[in-house]
Chains A and B, each alone.
Chain A
Amino acid sequence: MTSLPATTDKKLGLVIDLDTCVGCQACVTNCKEWNTGGLMAPLTDLKSYGAEADGVWFNRVHTYEVTGHEACGASASRTMHFPRSCLHCETPECVTVCPTGASYKRTTDGIVLVNEDLCIGCKLCSWACPYGAREFDVFEGVMKKCTLCVDRIYNENLAEEDRVPACVLTCPTSARHFGDLGDPNSDVSKLVASRGGVDLMPELGYKPTNKYLPPRARKDSAAARPTPELKPITADGFLGWVDKLLSR
């Protein structure tokens, strides 16, 4: 049913730290690896090795140059890597526009999913998502999207520490965090509160569950820490004799 639940028991989602993300694409790769065998499998690739390689991905990392932000410090600009995926919104209009009931938001944990057996592939949900999170699988004729690794986080066949989304598990800089954003005492909620986590495009009113932590203000800039001068090298003995000979 495409009517949205008034409330959800939990608000599972991600917190992404734009300060520490180094744009290594590890989350992108592990997402693809897990999900091409997971609930939404396959994440079809077309012309994988050709000139027009195309395929379905749930996570894409952009790179931006930011100017005029406190994160730049004394420098003119700062590079910011930006992972973009489904935000599992509280009012996801990708769900309400669905004519068949294939798209739905779970009452238990707030995860937004697609039932591929009901999807007619009209693509309207991808138009309704401001964030470009949904990608159509041309080969299968259905819409696909991030599942928040619903097949990992409750998976009792995995070790408990592995029951997190693939992107979170693999991040080498711990820029990605997973938890219940509906619980103010959860680690992720505390992180959002302490770092001033924000919504993307809040003006559209989709109320994203995922939060982004803006890059931190840079206090000790490169200009404020001058490099110490190199000390002159003096050599004696045999090396001193060679140095003298070559300096002649």
Chain B
Amino acid sequence: MNPALSVIFFTTASGAGYGMLVTLGLYAAVGRLPNDLWFALTAMVVSLGLITAGLLSSTFHLGHPERAWRAFSQWRTSWLSREGIMAIATYVPALLFGLAWAFPTYVPLPQSLLGILSAVFALGTIYTTAMIYRSLKPIHQWHNKHVVPSYLMLGVMTGAMLVLALTTLFGERTAFLTPVCGILFAAGLTVKWLYWSFIDTSAGASTPTSAVGLSGPNVKVTSVEWPHTEANYVLKEMGFQVARKHAARLRHVAIWAGFLLPAVALEASILLPAMAPLLLMPATVLMAIGIIAERWLFFAQAKHTVTLYYGSSSA
């Protein structure tokens, strides 16, 4: 599948933003949220900023962005419609939560309840995003049980790391969140590893012979001529090819930059608390690069069944 930059940015940025909401919401639920106006404002602006920027960027690849509002109508069958509704609905508890946290005297609303609501809605939104891909049967690398855990895990992981980096920047206590982030990096790498081993060792049920309706033990179908000499929409959108070695290298980038090096920085920040901001800020940037590489691979390595018509041996 064609890795469109707008969709890669949307899923990674808004995933991290929703992950921040989950982290902050649960932080509030256990009563550990620091009562610091500037930290509260910064955290909420970064979280909602990432979410909003992601949502806006996802409308850029539409043919008719001005009609985007129509996408809220088909929630009965469409995961994309459900995602749109969840994304907008999440603003309600999130904004109330932010106001109650930053201005407790002016907005005397229960922080912990709003925090839990924000976390639930944020997780729900990431879930609907993941289900858009999970539900597409023609794409074996998406239509499997590893996709939803990957999206949820990586969203929460990147969000928690961003919150941790901000707490150190504002000199807040991090004793609680640092080990949580460590666990999340381990869990994130595990689900992603399981996903990669799954796609490396399995292929979709469809074959070049089932694609043209032939069957038989020795039947082999080889493409000798395409219907068109130049690339068409179907090939540009769904026939994206990526060299194997390219993918292997990017997977290393994703593993090291996205998980292992940030985890090492996390460990070092426990040993050298004074250096925490200097360690965790670059670690967060590194993590972003790694997760973008991971998301690029998620699209680039996804193979649509239509490629079977164009000479691909499996999909």
Contact = CB atoms under 8 A, between A and B. Distances in A.
A61 B138 contact: no
Given A122-B71, A127-B238, A142 B210 contact: no
Interface in B187-239: 205-206, 210-234, 237-238
B78 interface: yes
Contacts of A214: 213-214
B205 A203 contact: yes
A199 B218 CA distance: 19
A151 interface: no
B137 A3 contact: no
Contact of A204 (B84, B212, B233, B305): B305
A230 B228 CA distance: 43
Contact of A62 (B72, B216, B227): B227
Contacts of B238: 126-127, 132
Contact of B63 (A4, A68, A96, A140): A140
A131 B217 CA distance: 23
B71 A99 contact: yes
B212 A212 contact: yes
B206 A130 contact: yes
Contacts of B224: 63-65, 79
Contact of B65 (A66, A97, A120, A136): A120
Contact of B78 (A79, A82, A99): A99
A60 B227 CA distance: 6
B80 interface: yes
Contacts of B246: none
Contacts of B139: 127
Contacts, number: 206
Interface in A74-122: 79-80, 82, 84, 93, 95-102, 118-122
A131 B71 contact: no
Interface in A28-68: 28, 51-57, 60-68
A204 B64 contact: no
Counting chain B residues whose Cβ lies within 8 A of the other chain, the interface size class is 35 or more
A8 interface: no
A132 B77 contact: no
A65 B132 CA distance: 36
Contact of A64 (B65, B136, B222): B222
B239 to A, nearest CB: 9
B135 interface: yes
Determine which residue in A80, A100, A202 has the highest number of CB atoms from chain B within 10 A of its CB, and name it. A100
B266 to A, nearest CB: 37
Nearest to A140: B63
B74 interface: yes
Contacts of A119: 63-64, 67
A184 interface: no
A135 B205 contact: no
Contact of B223 (A2, A62, A68, A123): A62
Given A93-B137, A130-B137, A142 B214 contact: no
Nearest to B82: A99
Nearest to B306: A132
B1 interface: yes
A1 interface: yes
Nearest to A55: B232
B70 A66 contact: no
B62 interface: yes
Given A1-B74, A124-B80, A53 B230 contact: yes
A200 interface: yes
A1 B73 CA distance: 9
Contacts of A242: none
A198 interface: yes
Contacts of B223: 62-64
A80 to B, nearest CB: 7
B245 interface: no
A5 interface: no
A19 to B, nearest CB: 12
B81 interface: yes
Nearest to B71: A99
A203 B210 contact: yes
Contacts of A137: 63
Contacts of A135: 232-234
Given A57-B227, A120-B67, A136-B63, 19 more contacts: A2-B78, A3-B76, A60-B232, A66-B221, A66-B222, A84-B309, A97-B77, A97-B132, A119-B64, A122-B62, A124-B132, A130-B137, A130-B206, A131-B306, A135-B232, A138-B63, A141-B64, A143-B63, A204-B138
Interface of A: 1-4, 18, 28, 51-57, 60-70, 79-80, 82, 84, 93, 95-102, 118-124, 126-132, 135-138, 140-143, 198-206, 212, 214
30 contacts: A2-B78, A18-B213, A54-B231, A60-B232, A62-B225, A64-B224, A66-B222, A67-B218, A67-B219, A67-B220, A69-B218, A82-B309, A97-B77, A97-B79, A98-B78, A120-B63, A120-B71, A126-B233, A126-B237, A129-B306, A130-B138, A130-B304, A132-B309, A135-B232, A198-B213, A200-B211, A200-B212, A202-B210, A204-B138, A214-B214
